[in-house]
Structures are given as structure tokens and as C-alpha cells.
């Protein structure tokens, strides 16, 4: 039995060593792929960070432009409101002038009528 016990390990060694070497090579290849994927993931994380920063800048720029547009529109509305207020103040004066012109025309007709008689 001792001869058999001595031959079994060498038999197992002949069968298993090539397979173990093959498995070891596959594990090394997998490790290389994992490291490569980790580098790609790191690169993608950096790009995502850059995109976040760029989007934040664009967002801030957009809000700045909206604020500027709002200020410009408010200023223009104020100018229009001022003009409307000015026109509203002139309307009674225009109405009074129209009434005066009508009265003046009536007075002129009376004067002409009295001069003709």
C-alpha cells in the first residue's frame, strides 16, 4: 500500500499541475481585466465630475442671463408705465382744451351772427 500511496501523489500532480497552471493564468488575466476596468471606471468618474462642473457653470450662466433679462424687462415695463401715466395726466388737459375749442367756436359763431345782423 505504501507504493500505491507514493504513486498517487505523483499521479495527481501530473494531472492537476497543468490544470492549476492554466487556472492560475486565467486568474492573472482576470486580474488584468479588473485593473483595466477599474482604470476605465476611474476615468468615467473624472469625466462625470467634469460634466457636473460644466453643467453647474451652465446653470449659473443661465440664471445670470435670466436675471439680466428680468431686470431689462422690468426697466422697460417701468418706462412704459411712466409713459402711460404721463398720457393719463394729459387726457384731462386735452379734454379741457377740446371743450374750450368748442366753446370758442360757438362764441365765434355768435359774434359772426351778431355782426351780420
For residue 56, name the pLDDT band (cuts at 50, 70, 90): very high
* Residues 86, 18: Cα–Cα separation, whole Å: 101
Task: Give the alpha-carbon dihedral of 14, 20, 21, 25, to 10 degrees.
Answer: 160
By the 10 Å C-beta count (0-12 exposed, 13-18 middle, 19+ buried), 25 is classed as exposed
State the average pLDDT over residues 89-93: 87
Q: What is the CA radius of gyration of the chain?
A: 49
User: pTM (2 decimals)?
Assistant: 0.49
Per-residue pLDDT at 24 exceeds 80: yes
Q: pLDDT value at position 2?
A: 60
Amino acid at each position: 500500500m505504501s507504493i500505491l500511496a507514493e504513486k498517487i501523489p505523483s499521479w495527481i500532480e501530473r494531472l492537476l499541475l497543468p490544470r492549476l497552471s492554466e487556472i492560475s493564468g486565467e486568474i492573472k488575466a482576470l486580474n488584468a481585466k479588473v485593473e483595466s476596468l477599474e482604470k476605465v471606471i476611474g476615468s468615467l468618474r473624472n469625466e462625470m465630475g467634469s460634466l457636473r462642473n460644466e453643467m453647474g457653470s451652465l446653470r449659473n450662466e443661465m440664471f445670470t442671463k435670466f436675471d439680466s433679462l428680468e431686470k431689462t424687462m422690468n426697466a422697460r415695463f417701468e418706462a412704459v408705465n411712466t409713459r402711460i401715466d404721463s398720457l393719463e395726466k394729459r387726457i384731462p388737459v386735452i379734454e379741457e382744451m377740446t371743450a374750450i375749442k368748442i366753446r370758442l367756436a360757438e362764441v365765434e359763431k355768435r359774434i359772426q351772427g351778431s355782426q351780420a345782423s
